[in-house]
Structure 1
Amino acid sequence: AGRAVALPLAGLKIKETPEGLSLTTAAKEEELLRIDAGDRGAWRSALAGGAAPQTRVVVVDYPSTWSPPFDESVRLVKLKRSDPEYKMVAEQAVSQQFNTAGQTPHVKGDLKVTGVARIQSPQVWDRYCLRRSIIAQENDGDPNERMLWHGTPSVNLILEAGFDPRVC
């Protein structure tokens, strides 16, 4: 199941940076367009004058592992031990517990996975897909994705307020 989502460009604030044009929408969404310095004036005029499309549209497909319904609500889906996604997460968590890129590991002793849950948030997924498409365009088609595992007793806070990497 998928749907088209758009990053609205109405009410756009445009700022020139050394890298290109920084765009901020009325909804505070930010995007950096990497444009050659010689072309920035034409782009700025087109964006400010309405000649450019007023939205960036991306077709979003939800992950095949997600469970319906795909409404706007945030859902916590507890996975069964027999679920392939549970097994993959548990195996990777245990095998990579000390792969900390030079940082001190936060797990002392052997890690034991006692449960795996997936947070399904169509709104967050839509924003992620928009950003992923922008990054892929700027990196020759490579969105530079990484998997993120987060073990926490504070899952309710993440459900209510969203994931914030600054407080991990």
Structure 2
Amino acid sequence: MVYKFYVYDPSYKEELARWIGPNRKDSLLEKVEKLKTRQLPLLHNSETKQILNSKHISTRSISQQVCYKANLFVPRKLQYNSFSSINNDCIIGFWIHFPEFESDEFNQSKFFSPSKQFWPVDPAKNDIWLSYSEIFPQIRSFIQQKRSPLLWMKTKDTFERFFVVWW
């Protein structure tokens, strides 16, 4: 089981290479390659075979499969576009650069920045909401540390998820 969050960076030439981690430290293609070359082959390591044999399990009887769940975020200006190489149902939000977050359009909304372990949670389940002026110093601090925070935004009864990227 793999559960990853990627943002779409149109500056890359190859379509699938455009799906990168929000902090630019990993990518969809890198993860798929790591699964194929390093993680799935672990079943055939001598140490693995020894442990399985001691439990009377043959590696020949094991069929490996991967469930790859992704939450995808596209640039705000592309959020209503369709993308041919991926499951568009996985697009759950957008991303913006920090200067865009500094604009007045966000003043009337409420925000929460979940820690990474809570990224998959539905924002509608959240009870703690901060004003723009309350959340802004936190976001600025993340950006200064070259970290791209995920934000949940509540506007009246509408909830949105987006990353503010540092790059």
Q: Which has the higher strand share?
A: 2
Q: Which structure is higher in RCO with an 8 Å CA cutoff and minimum separation 6?
A: 2
Q: What's the TM-score once normalised by structure 1's chain length?
A: 0.26
Q: What's the TM-score once normalised by structure 2's chain length?
A: 0.26
Q: Which has the higher helix share?
A: 2
